[in-house]
Amino acid sequence: MKRWILIAPVLVCLCLAGCFERIVAPKDVFGSIKQGETYSPASNMIDNWYAVEAIDARTFAINEPKSSQYNTSYLIAGDERAIMFDAGSGERPAGSQSMREVAERYTDKPITLILSHFHYDHIYDAAKFDGVTLIDRPEIRANIRGDAYTISALESVDKEMPPLKVAGLIADGDVIELGGRKLDVLNLPGHTTESVVLIDRLGNQVFTGDFVYQHLGGIIAFAPASNLTAYKANSARLLRLTNAETQFFGAHGVPHFGRDWLTLLDRELGKIVTGEANYRYVAHYLAPGIPWRVQQNGDMYIYTTPLVDPPLFWSKWMLLVLAGVSTLSLYLFYRVVRLPFIPPGSKHDVTHPGREPYGP
């Protein structure tokens, strides 16, 4: 029994070492973009923080090129009202204008805030708006208290946010009328369950949030609400709703990208859900030290959870397994530490029963 107490921790250490041999530092996937650069020479700099690019006369990409995640939010205006899609990264300097104040410089129409999803780097100035319009999902509706919704620490992947006034709910398939311009609402789970994508069919423009963006740091599918099977199904759905001329606008990196990038994402997600992915393990820059699995094809990186898919990785069963393994490891360590030291050849040495120790 005592021999196994010694051997078991050694085996565990060897297994862990075998895993960590596969961990390599992530490649520089930021391309030629350097923090602080604007995305277009035509961008208008505000407060030395925002780089506002006019996509057309009624559509503006409000970039935060100095933010750690290279965030972009969008002002989408019609003749009667406007949509603000996301509310900033939360890294703007003290004293700088809020996302709402910047947006109001480019439209005099009433602005409705819609969040692409609830992660911390998209919601910072949400309270500056006259409420937020949320995607209508059962779990969101169930957590509205009065006319307020609180984004939890699990949803933000950071900390619980102050309650937000709920201005309204929109459902998958709804059409938002802006006056001379319409936006189709899609709820596309994958990155998160509440992920929203907006489509301007007449302008052939798609605003994708974090569901897909031109590569900058990788497509994230390791958050608590990520789902790889849903991600694949919804990437295929978005492909069916777009064409080769569609302009895509993401929430990170260079805003503009083409449908070929979405096609590549769909292809690589297909490999993942069919078990054909060729994973490697990397310490991702967002959560260094954790061996995330990554499926890579050229500049496309899809990060997901170690060993198992996100729904299982973040489940209570995984927590129970980790608690059990930790307890067993501590117990084995305790037993090893308590083993008495027996010098070889002493009279208590039982490695050779019946043999007298050497010496007088």
Residue with tokens 């974090």: 210
pLDDT of residue 339: 64
How many CB atoms lie under 10 A from the CB of residue 243?
9
pLDDT of residue 352: 54
Q: What's the rounded Cα separation, in Å, for the pair 295 and 302?
A: 5
Q: What's the rounded Cα separation, in Å, for the pair 21 and 28?
A: 20
Could you tell me the CA-to-CA distances from 239 to 243, 245, 259, 266 in Å, in that order?
7, 12, 8, 8
Q: Which residues contact 120 (CB under 8 A, 6 or more apart)?
A: 90, 156, 157, 158, 159
pLDDT of residue 249: 97
Q: What's the rounded Cα separation, in Å, for the pair 72 and 65?
A: 8
Token pair of 164, please? Answer: 């937000």
pLDDT of residue 290: 80
How many CB atoms lie under 10 A from the CB of residue 16?
10
CATH of 44-312, one of 3.60.15.10, 3.50.50.60, 3.30.300.30, 3.30.360.10: 3.60.15.10
pLDDT of residue 332: 76
* N-term to C-term CA, the chain: 32
pLDDT by residue for the chain (360 residues), tens only, comes to 444 444 444 444 444 444 444 455 455 455 566 667 777 888 999 999 999 999 999 999 999 999 988 999 999 999 999 999 999 999 999 999 999 999 999 999 999 999 999 999 999 999 999 999 999 999 999 999 999 999 999 999 999 999 999 999 999 999 999 999 999 999 999 999 999 999 999 999 999 999 999 877 789 999 999 999 999 999 999 999 999 999 999 999 889 999 999 999 999 999 999 999 999 888 777 777 788 899 999 889 999 999 899 999 888 877 677 667 777 777 777 777 666 656 666 655 555 555 555 444
CB of 213 closer than 8 Å to CB of 190: no
pLDDT of residue 256: 94
Strands (E) located in 10-131: 23-24, 44-46, 50-56, 59-64, 71-77, 82-85, 111-114
